Structure 1
Amino acid sequence: MSTEQGPADRDQQLSTAVQLREAGRRAEAREILVALAERFPQDVEVAYQTAWVHDALGLEAEAVPYYVTATSTSGLAPEERSGALLGLGSTYRALGRYPESVATLEAACAEFPEDTALRAFLAMALHNSGRGKEGMEILLTLLAATSDDPQIARYRPAFEEYAKDLDATF
């Protein structure tokens, strides 16, 4: 009987690891995912899940190479790809690697222009990069476009105008 593990085994282990992560058993999930990543080093789905579990454990520096693998080629579903790009950009920011964070998140926003979470994370990275005005403009635009709060809605036109030019006076 062969002891070689095939795609079905990979799928089962990946599913188990995701379930463990979602159940809060992240260290156990990490063990499975690191082993899978060693067996399937170019597998973008395995890389994404491995990055995610490292991030969830606060191991941001260890997450980066997995995020890079996950985002370096096609293969992830769009929702997973946007999540991997957000994770990579956010992780760069958490590590103080602001230029890489901004570049990653700007490219992600260009690829997924409707993803508001990407824009919010870009705003934070811009702030950390000394480009706070641009970050505030993004956040004001998001606030005006997405908030259902009646007090925000009342001032939506003002937020939209300030988003165009934060230093303008009316």
Structure 2
Amino acid sequence: MTEVPEARLSRAVRLREDGEPVRARELLLALRAEFPADPLIAYQTAWVHDVLELEEEAVPHYRAAIAGGLPDEQMRDAMLGLGSTLRVLGRDDEAAEVFAEGLRRFPGHRPLRVFQAMLRHNAGDSREAVADLLRVLVESTGDPDIRQYGRAISAYAEDLDRGRPHP
């Protein structure tokens, strides 16, 4: 008797988590062929391709997962994964669109903001990238030493040249 898709999907996720992504990929590709419209299977298939550094192959699986509709947590992660993968592939305009859409849908999701900042740096907008990263740092840190300087760091995020002579 064939395992139900949920059990097979759980087994594939465990294989990936246990450091066996090649075996996980085999199982996930079989599941994708059998259930091509399932967004969770597509998402996990994209993820395992990323783990294996097969970014180009991950993209269509991410797109299928996002188009298929995922629960919010997986949707955020799929959008982050797709944007990050596109950035790695040098497809910066597409990555920027994915991050922008992700942040429209999930404005408080800090990992999306961090990955968008990395893209901004790659695109030559290091000033805004650093400012974004400083904002995320102040918002999310539990480090008492950083929190002590939170107001100053936030002020610098708004004007990175504050206190420095302008050329």
The aligned counterpart of 1:23 is 18
The counterpart of 1:71, out of the listed 66, 72, 75, is: 66
Q: Contact (CA 8 Å) 2:38, 2:68: kept in 1 or not?
A: no
The one-letter code matched in structure 1 to 2:94 is E
Regions of 4+ moved over 4 Å: none
The aligned counterpart of 1:146 is 140
CA RMSD of aligned residues (A): 1.6
| Residues in 2 aligned to 1:139 and 1:102: alpha-carbon distance in whole angstroms | 16
The aligned counterpart of 1:122 is 116
**TM-score of the two chains, using structure 1 as the length reference:** 0.90
The counterpart of 1:102, out of the listed 80, 96, 111, is: 96
The one-letter code matched in structure 2 to 1:45 is L
The aligned counterpart of 2:54 is 59
Percent of aligned positions that are identical: 45
The one-letter code matched in structure 1 to 2:76 is S
List aligned pairs for 1:28-39, cutoff 5 A.
28-39=23-34
Q: Which runs of 5+ in 1 are unaligned?
A: none
User: Number of residue pairs matched?
Assistant: 164
Q: Contact (CA 8 Å) 2:37, 2:68: kept in 1 or not?
A: no
Q: Contact (CA 8 Å) 1:18, 1:49: kept in 2 or not?
A: yes
Q: Which runs of 5+ in 2 are unaligned?
A: none
Q: Contact (CA 8 Å) 1:99, 1:129: kept in 2 or not?
A: no
**TM-score of the two chains, using structure 2 as the length reference:** 0.91
Query: Residues 47-102 of structure 1, C-alpha deviation per residue, up to 9 Å, x if partnerless?
Result: 0000000001111111011001111232x111111010110011011111111111
| Residues in 1 aligned to 2:162 and 2:103: alpha-carbon distance in whole angstroms | 26
Shift of the alpha carbon at 1:41? Answer: 1.6
| Residues in 2 aligned to 1:30 and 1:87: alpha-carbon distance in whole angstroms | 17
| Residues in 1 aligned to 2:63 and 2:12: alpha-carbon distance in whole angstroms | 20
Query: Residues 96-145 of structure 1, C-alpha deviation per residue, up to 9 Å, x if partnerless?
Result: 11111111112111211121111111100111112222211110101111
The counterpart of 1:82, out of the listed 59, 76, 81, is: 76
